[in-house]
Amino acid sequence: MKNIAVIGAGTMGNGIAHVFAQCGFKVNLVDIAQASLDKGMATISKNLDRMLAKNAISEADKKSTLDNITTFTNLDQGVSNMDLVVEAATENLNIKLKIFEDLDRICQPNTILATNTSSISITQIAAVTQRPDKVIGMHFMNPVPIMKLVEIIRGYSTSAEVTHTIMELSKKLGKTPTEVNDYPGFVANRILMPMINEAIETLYNGVAGVTEIDTVMKLGMAHPMGPLQLADFIGLDVCLSILNVMYDGFKNPKYAPCPLLVNMVMAGKLGVKSGEGFYDYSESRKAEKVAAQFN
């Protein structure tokens, strides 16, 4: 397995492309917008520069990593003759189903199709293809170049051979793959999102302020960042989407998103990406300073 395509050049997509390319794989990074591809490649270059400054890589490593990535705005050109395609588009069911229908039509029959979804059923995604045995979840954590975990989610029809292949491939990326079953939210978000939602409820109910809630969790529970700050970095719209998937999947009120979260998303307060969430990131230098702590 040498040729990899990544669909989506956003935060997760460019991070996944970065990791594969740095490990010597030839990567096609595909996005419908050239501006997104340019931004994604700039992010990869900036992250490589950080690693270079820390003497974690050499100039030659940086050059070879960038040389291993080719960008495409045409899906057909970007995914043909690939060994593996990793979809990292926005966390929207209809978008993902359409992408997988197209991938199934375009890709070679032996190509493995993976999704970086953080909550949507692998079985449901696989059902729109003619190769459900070759569809699997690869849920990378953000920031991808730093975080070691990859949740490997095996759908109802995913073959043991494909699961083994993706587990071993993840190890070659320097990651720690952990196999989980295909239920809404998997493991990471089934535990994380209710905690974030409860932190938002605590704020909504006036128990404490934003910094106070985060301080309690950081200093009292040894979390590297508080749940409200983490929600800002994930994206409040993404948090809402994941909670809705779990609420719809389990029909359990404990997964119902807090009204404050719903209102903030409707108001466009999405966290770091919009410049404001539970914290203010409107000054670009401030946002970069905060983000640099975790890169």
Instruction: List, for residues 108-149, the tens digit of each pLDDT value.
Output: 999 999 999 999 999 999 999 999 999 999 999 999 999 999
Contacts of 64 (CB under 8 A, 6+ apart): 24
Q: Distance between CA 74 and CA 47 in Å, rounded? A: 26
Q: Distance between CA 148 and CA 161 in Å, rounded? A: 23
Residue 244 in contact with residue 193, Cβ under 8 Å?
no
**What's the pLDDT tens digit per position in 228-267?**
999 999 999 999 999 999 999 999 999 999 999 999 999 9
Residue with tokens 């409860």, as numbered in its chain: 198
User: Beta strands 135-140 and 149-154: pairing type?
Assistant: antiparallel
Does 273 count as an annotated binding residue? yes
Does 96 count as an annotated binding residue? yes
Q: Would you name the residues annotated as active-site residues? A: 118, 139, 151, 189
Q: Measuring CA to CA, which residue among 27, 284, 274 is closest to residue 144?
A: 27
Structural domains present in the chain: 3-181 (3.40.50.720), 189-290 (1.10.1040.10)
Q: Distance between CA 48 and CA 64 in Å, rounded? A: 11
pLDDT band at 288 (very low <50, low <70, confident <90, very high): low
Q: Measuring CA to CA, which residue among 7, 159, 27 is closest to residue 95?
A: 7
What's the confidence (pLDDT) of residue 295? 43
What's the confidence (pLDDT) of residue 188? 95
For residue 41, what are its two tokens?
């490649």
Backbone phi, then psi, for 148, in 5-degree steps?
A: -85, -25
Contacts of 102 (CB under 8 A, 6+ apart): 75
Does 205 count as an annotated binding residue? no
Does 31 count as an annotated binding residue? yes
- The single-letter DSSP state of residue 65 is H
Output the pTM of the full model: 0.89
Q: Distance between CA 51 and CA 188 in Å, rounded? A: 27
Residue 279 in contact with residue 210, Cβ under 8 Å?
yes
Distance of CA 41 to the CA centre of its chain: 17
Does 220 count as an annotated binding residue? no
Strand spans (E) along the chain: 3-7, 26-30, 69-72, 84-87, 112-115, 135-140, 149-154, 176-181
